[in-house]
Every structure is written in C-alpha cells, then in structure tokens.
Amino acid sequence: MPRPSCHSREGGDPSEKWLRKTLDPRFRGDDRELSDLSVRPLTLVGLLVAAMGGLALLGCGGPSKSVSRPKRDAAAAAPAPMRVLWQSDSQFGKVFVVVDGGLRILRFGKAENEDQSAYDPKRPRYEPLEYVRMALLGFAFTKKPRRVLMVGLGGGSFLRHARRWAPRAVFEAVEVNPVVVKACRRWFGFARAGKVAVHVTDGRRFVQKQLATKTRYDVVFLDAYDAVDYPRHLGTREFFSEVRRILTPGGVVVANLSPNATPMRDALVRTFGDVLSPVACFYSPEAGNTVVVGGPGVSGVKAAALAARIKILGRHLGRDLKLGSYAAGRCPFSVDQAPILADPRPVKSGK
C-alpha cells in the first residue's frame, strides 16, 4: 500500500507559519486561560471557540458543488449485507474484520458487536468513527509532538491520522492482543501511520516500564475503554497518576471514556480529572462519545490561541474530519457525586 506524502518538508506548508504564530509568546489574543472559563478547578472545561468562528473557519475552499448521479433502481441502491472478511480466535476472544457499508470494521466477540475501528480503503484520510475525530483535538493543546504513545491499538486509526500532523514524531503503541495487531496491519491501512513501534504487552505494565527508563511523551492516547467494560487496572487514580508522570512538561493525556453505562463513565471521568486537572471535555450527545484531555499542556492555554490551533489542525487534517463541530461542545453532566476509582488494597497474608 502506498504511503502518504507525510515526509514532505514542513516549511512548505503555510499552516506551519500560522501554527508558529499561534504558539509565539507575542501572540496577541484573548488573555483568559482555559482554567478561567470553569467554575471550579476540577470542573470539565467547555471549549468555547464557537465565538471565534470555530465551525466556519474549518471550511477549506468554496462551497461544494452538487454532482448529478445516475438514478439506480431500488435493488441496486440497497446496501450490501454485512459480510465477514476475516476472523481469528485469540486468548481474549474472537476478533472479526467485517465489511459493512463499504467500510472495513474491527469487532470483538461477535461479528455483529460494536465497532472498534473502521476504515474506508477508498478514502483513507476519512475517519468514520466520531470518537477518533474528537481525540485528534488533543493535538491542539500542545506543540508538534516529538513522541506519541497509544494504549490500545485497535485498527490504529488515531496514529494513521496523527502521522499527517506530526510526520517526524516517534510513534509507539501498546496492544495486549497480538491478533488485534495482526488484523490492524493487514486490513486497516496501518502502513499509512509510517514507522510505529508496537509493543504486545499490558498497557499498565508498559507505562510502568517507561517510568523506570524515564521515557517521556508529548501525547498519550488511552483507548482501552469499551462501551461495555474496560480493564479495571487501567481506570484507577494510580494508573492515571503513572501516565501523568510519563508526560513531558507540556504534554497531554487524551482518553476516550465512553462506556454506555453512565455511572461507569462518570466514575472514569471524575477519576481522570482528579489526577489530570485541569481537564477539557469534548462531548457528542448524538453518539454519547466523551473524550477528555488533561495534563500540563491544558493548563495555561489561551482561549484565542486554542481556537487558532483547532482551525489549523482542521485545515491540515482535512475538512472531512469536521473537527470544529466538536470544538464548542461542553460535557452536560456532573461527576461530583461519582466515586474516585482506586487500585484494590493488597490483601495481607495471615500468620
């Protein structure tokens, strides 16, 4: 599969000049920090960039022209039924790659289960899953990253898009299931992510190893939280604290915390915020997706500079991703009454 032109020189991209302007300390904009927009230090921050023209600024070029298409009869217009393209057993259950609506989709357990990753081989720069598009907004909180870590590989969609934003960054991914890694490489255009060091191991164990070797990351994306359940040791105050400690001084943690069970989601969001405050929250009421961004990079970001960065990010990655449609979102739920999750206390052995 051909690789994208992600190795072109950055100096020729005009968006780079705009980015340098927004990151320049002489940038004259809104002097309010994101933390000033919240009521309490741990309140989830609503990214109020709609006033900056967030939705309109992300459009590239003029209005799209309608294209007349030949009419098809009802039989020809009917979508093709879902079919299994590939499947394999693993120690964590069955892994499926199905074709549904023209997309290659990764699913676990059963072929009809929830989508984990989706890929359109005809439009590799398009992202079908909303939470991945929302997670890419985490790059607006930090300078061009040098090191990026993804915990929970799936189909590798986040890294595939991230490579276009940070063509020279070192990418690493952790995935506990080797069958998922195999499916990702074979069916989901993972070559477009460029060189990625994939570590087949438990995510927390890897983070602890990086702590011991003093390896630091500018962006860490946590994508280990399924709509139904998640590995409990990856959702505790102690784990989020370990992740925070592998960040660079201006780094951020981006987490997709979207379980269908509301109490589970609220507990994860509150625990994340307790460790990584201040936290910015992106929420989509249609699909119920909740993506949070926390860490040192969120603190001190000016509202105007953030709006400009999101504009540049959207233009660079393409208007098909519609990043600005999430920029004005605010998490409409309170997590004040949710519990803070912690590791279980070790059981003392009897005498």
pLDDT of residue 350: 58
Residues belonging to the chain: 351
Write the burial class of residue 134 (CB in 10 Å: 0-12 exposed, 13-18 middle, 19+ buried): buried
Structure tokens belonging to residue 130: 């909303």
> Could you tell me if 96 and 187 lie in one domain?
no
pLDDT of residue 327: 60
pLDDT of residue 65: 38
pLDDT of residue 330: 58
Q: What's CA 163's distance to the chain center, in Å?
A: 13
> Could you tell me if 53 and 141 lie in one domain?
yes
> Could you tell me if 208 and 179 lie in one domain?
yes
> Could you tell me if 259 and 110 lie in one domain?
no
> Could you tell me if 299 and 209 lie in one domain?
yes
In a domain, 5, yes or no: no
Share of the chain above pLDDT 70, in %: 75
DSSP readout, 140-178? GGSSSPSEEEEES-TT-HHHHHHHHH-TTSEEEEE-S-H
Q: Rg of the Cα trace of the chain?
A: 21
Structure tokens belonging to residue 228: 């139904």
- DSSP 8-class letter at 269: H
**Using one digit for the tens of pLDDT, what is the confidence trace for 198-257?**
999 999 999 999 999 999 999 999 999 987 889 999 999 999 999 999 999 999 999 999
> Could you tell me if 150 and 269 lie in one domain?
yes
In a domain, 106, yes or no: yes
In a domain, 95, yes or no: yes
In a domain, 87, yes or no: yes
Distance (Å) of CA 349 to CA 140, 335, 338: 49, 36, 32
Angle between helices 237-245 and 262-276 (to 10 degrees): 40
Complete edge-to-edge strand list for the sheet that includes strand 117-119: 83-88, 95-100, 103-108, 117-119
For residue 110, give its domain range: 80-119
Which range of 17-31, 84-98, 295-309 scores highest in mean pLDDT? It is 84-98
Structure tokens belonging to residue 138: 């985490």
> Could you tell me if 281 and 201 lie in one domain?
yes
> Could you tell me if 86 and 195 lie in one domain?
no
Question: Where among 68, 99, 119 does a domain terminate?
Answer: 119
CATH number of the domain to which 145 belongs = 3.40.50.150
> Could you tell me if 101 and 239 lie in one domain?
no
> Could you tell me if 191 and 102 lie in one domain?
no
In a domain, 204, yes or no: yes
In a domain, 189, yes or no: yes
**Using one digit for the tens of pLDDT, what is the confidence trace for 326-340?**
664 457 788 999 999
Structure-token match 């393409």, residue found:
318
> Could you tell me if 41 and 84 lie in one domain?
no
> Does residue 322 come out as left (phi exceeding 0), alpha (psi in the -120 to 50 range) or beta?
left
Number of domains the chain contains:
2
3-state secondary structure 35-97: HHHCCCCCCCECCCCHHHCHHHHCCCCCCCCCCCCCCCCHHHHCCCCCEEEEEECCCCCCEEE
247-256 as b/e, with b when 16 or more CB fall inside 10 Å? bbebbbbbbb
